[in-house]
A and B are shown apart, each in its own frame.
Chain A
Amino acid sequence: MGLADALAAMLTNEDDLALLRRDPTALRDRFALTENELAMLAGAGPAGYRVTRRNVQAKLRRAIGGCLPVTVAHLHRHHPDLWERFASGLVRPPQPVHRHGIWESERLTDWLTARDLAPVADYARYELERAKLRRADHDRTGRDPADVLGPGTGTGTDRPLTLSSDVRILMFDHDVTAGPPLADLPVRRTHVVLHRPSPSSHLQTYRVSPGTALLLAGCDGTRTTQQLVACAASDPAAVRTALDRLMAADLVRPA
Chain B
Amino acid sequence: MGTLPRLGSGLGYRAELAEDIDLHADRIDWLEVISEHFLFAREARERLRELARRFPVVPHGVELSIGSDREPDAAYLEALASLVEDVDAPWFSDHLCFTRTDEVALGLLAPLPRTRQVARRLAGRADWVRRTVGRPFLLENITYYVDLATPLTEAQFIAEVLEHCDCGLLLDVANLDINARNHGFDPLDFLDTLPLERVVQVHLAGAGEEEEMTLDTHSEAVPARVWDLLEEVVARTPVQAALIERDANFPDDFTELLDEVGRARTVLASRPAELIGGA
- Hey, which bits of chain A sit against chain B, CB under 8 A? 2-5, 7-9, 11-12, 37, 39-45, 47-52, 55-56, 59-60, 63, 91-98, 100, 135, 137-138, 199-200
Contact = CB atoms under 8 A, between A and B. Distances in A.
B148 interface: yes
B43 interface: yes
Nearest to A61: B107
A52 B100 contact: no
Given A4-B112, A8-B101, A97-B76, A51 B212 contact: yes
Interface string B104-146: 1111101011000000000000000000000000000000111
B147 A56 contact: no
B103 interface: yes
B40 interface: yes
Contacts of B69: 2, 4
Given A42-B149, A47-B145, A4 B101 contact: yes
B215 interface: yes
Interface in B202-218: 210, 212-213, 215
Contacts of B104: 5, 8-9, 12, 91-94
Interface in B2-59: 36, 39-43
A51 B145 contact: yes
Contacts of A56: 106-108
Nearest to A5: B101
Interface in B48-102: 63, 67-69, 73, 75-76, 79, 98, 100-102
Contacts of A12: 104, 106
Interface of B is mostly: loop
B108 A8 contact: no
A47 B212 contact: yes
B150 interface: yes
Q: How big is the B interface, by class?
A: 35 or more
Given A49-B146, A92-B106, A97-B39, 18 more contacts: A4-B67, A5-B101, A7-B146, A8-B101, A8-B106, A12-B106, A45-B147, A47-B145, A47-B212, A59-B108, A60-B107, A92-B107, A96-B73, A97-B76, A98-B40, A98-B41, A100-B36, A200-B43
Contacts of A50: 212
11 contacts: A3-B148, A12-B104, A40-B113, A43-B148, A48-B146, A56-B108, A91-B104, A93-B105, A94-B101, A97-B40, A135-B41
A49 B147 CA distance: 9
Contacts of A60: 107
Nearest to A62: B107
Given A43-B148, A97-B76, A3 B113 contact: yes
Nearest to A47: B212
A22 to B, nearest CB: 18
The 3 closest A-B pairs by CB, nearest first: A43-B149, A59-B107, A48-B146
A193 to B, nearest CB: 22
Contacts of B101: 4-5, 8, 94
B100 A94 contact: yes
Nearest to A199: B43
Nearest to B36: A97
A48 B106 contact: no
Contact of B150 (A5, A40, A48, A63): A40
B210 to A, nearest CB: 7
A3 B68 CA distance: 11
B98 A4 contact: yes
Most buried by B among A5, A7, A41, A96: A7
A170 B210 CA distance: 43
Nearest to B80: A97
Given A4-B69, A8-B100, A49-B146, A137 B43 contact: yes
A98 B39 contact: yes
A48 B108 contact: no
Interface string B164-193: 000000000000000000100000000000
A108 to B, nearest CB: 14
Contacts of B67: 4
Most buried by A among B39, B42, B103: B103
Nearest to B65: A94
A93 B106 contact: no
Contact of A5 (B73, B103, B146): B103
A55 B108 contact: yes
A206 to B, nearest CB: 22
Given A42-B149, A56-B106, A63-B107, A48 B213 contact: yes
Nearest to A138: B40
A135 B41 CA distance: 8
